[in-house]
Amino acid sequence: MKRDLSLKERHKRVSLATSDNFFFLLDAIAEQQVPTLTQLGDIESSYQSIAEFLAARQEFESLITQIHPHGSRELGTMVRPWGQSREGFDIDVIARLDQSASERYGDVRGPARLLAHFHAAFDDYANAHGLEVKKWNRCVTLIYSGGMCADIAPVIDSPLLSSPYGETHGIIPDRGVAHYKSTNPLGYAKFFRETASIAATFYAMEAFAADSVHKADIIPLRNPDEVFAPLLCRIVQVLKLHRNVRFGPQDGEQDLKPSSAFITTLAAHAYAQHAPEVHVSPLDLLFDIVATMPSKFRSEETATGATWFLPNPAAPASNLAEDMNDPARQAAFYAWVEKFTEDIDEILQAVEQRAGIEVVIQRVEAAFGNKSADAARKALLKRQEAARNAGRASFFTSTAAPLIVKSRPHNFYGI
């Protein structure tokens, strides 16, 4: 049974200026998540090296058709690893195999054999390049000296032409269940880009002062490229960052955090619903999305509790809520959604009340971690210095300022 969180009704209204300043902070935090030029070079070098290595392996001769990124790098929703010990990025790579691979690996022992060949290949690769390798049920992880980790999984083409995005559908071996599972990384990326390209519309209006009902000033919004350019990506990044801080390192305890795929898909569905609606500001759209996310999966009551279903938009047989079917994880998800709203409100009130940069930064750190707080502090101090040098002072009007602004189409091609 779904909870009625009523989150949108509970959050405190703030001025348009506060909303704009909040998204300035989000931009600064999100930019801190982008790889440096050196890290980008390392990522591209890793892709190229892995592709050439797999193409030359005898056991995969003529089977490997493509090596491509997927996950947050492809979607533009990357976040840095949580904690102080690592500076590298976690990246996801798919080794795409032609349909003919099913002839070699399609029997009952095929999934285990494909994974065994895959694991053996990357043992050789790791030894040749001085890397650490870890083996999992669906992939291998290469751990580089600079802190970067690459998860690489084999996927055999298995088109489902009757389904949306079905031309890139595939099957992935799963050692844990000894068979193949439905997947479609390329199709999911297309779904996400199409959703993110939905233009959001905002009715930017300050509250009327009680004695100025008939007066109105137009308040110019910042450049749409600055405010709205990867809006859905920004929202997903913020959700994932807060999730990482909220759940933190587990240290042997049960890991209750919702997966990135689960969060991203819920946010995308909620964005598709609410983006066409007229909102006062991007902030109101954010609150609408968060409040709606818990309604975007299906829940069925059973004798042992609730079972959640969230079909992969590009691979309907894949349940992205599969890992959430545990009472503790479900309760933790609802608590996290509420906590997210509370923490955002704390930041907004500090901005609205002009409590000072350090108070704002303290609340950013509590919600998004110390690296995000450092990025926000640098951005705020830089903007403050620029305003001081230009002789500008901030001010707020008390009169209403209605303005309809159609955001520009989004184009997201990864990082």
Query: 156: alpha, beta or left, given left = phi > 0 and alpha = psi -120 to 50?
Result: beta
Q: Spell out the residues 6+ positions from residue 354 whose beta carbon is closer than 8 angstroms to its own.
A: none
Residue 311 CB coordination number (10 Å)? 16
Q: Check residue 221 and give its pLDDT.
A: 33
| Spatial separation of the C-alpha atoms in residues 337 and 333, rounded to whole Å | 6
Fold of 37-184: Beta Polymerase; domain 2 (3.30.460)
Q: Check residue 86 and give its pLDDT.
A: 53
pLDDT digits (tens, 9 = 90+) for 167-215: 999 999 998 778 999 999 999 999 999 999 999 988 754 433 333 443 3
Point out the residues of the chain with pLDDT beneath 50: 1-5, 84, 205-228, 394-415
pLDDT digits (tens, 9 = 90+) for 255-281: 899 999 999 999 999 999 999 999 988
Average pLDDT, the chain: 83
- Tell me which H or E stretch contains 186: helix 185-196
Burial 166-187 (b: 16+ CB within 10 A, else e): bebbbbbbbbeeeebbbbbbbb
pLDDT digits (tens, 9 = 90+) for 342-385: 999 999 999 999 998 999 999 999 999 999 999 999 999 888 88
- Report the DSSP pairing between strands 404-406 and 132-135: unpaired
What are the residue boundaries of the structural domains of the chain, listed by start? 7-34+191-406, 37-184
Bridge partner list, 8: none
Amino acid at 155: V
- Tell me which H or E stretch contains 406: strand 404-406
User: What secondary structure does DSSP assign to 107-157, as a single string?
Assistant: STTHHHHHHHHHHHHHHHHHHHHT-EEEE-SS-EEEE-TTS-EEEEEEEEE
Q: Check residue 8 and give its pLDDT.
A: 56
Q: Check residue 123 and give its pLDDT.
A: 96
Q: Check residue 322 and give its pLDDT.
A: 95
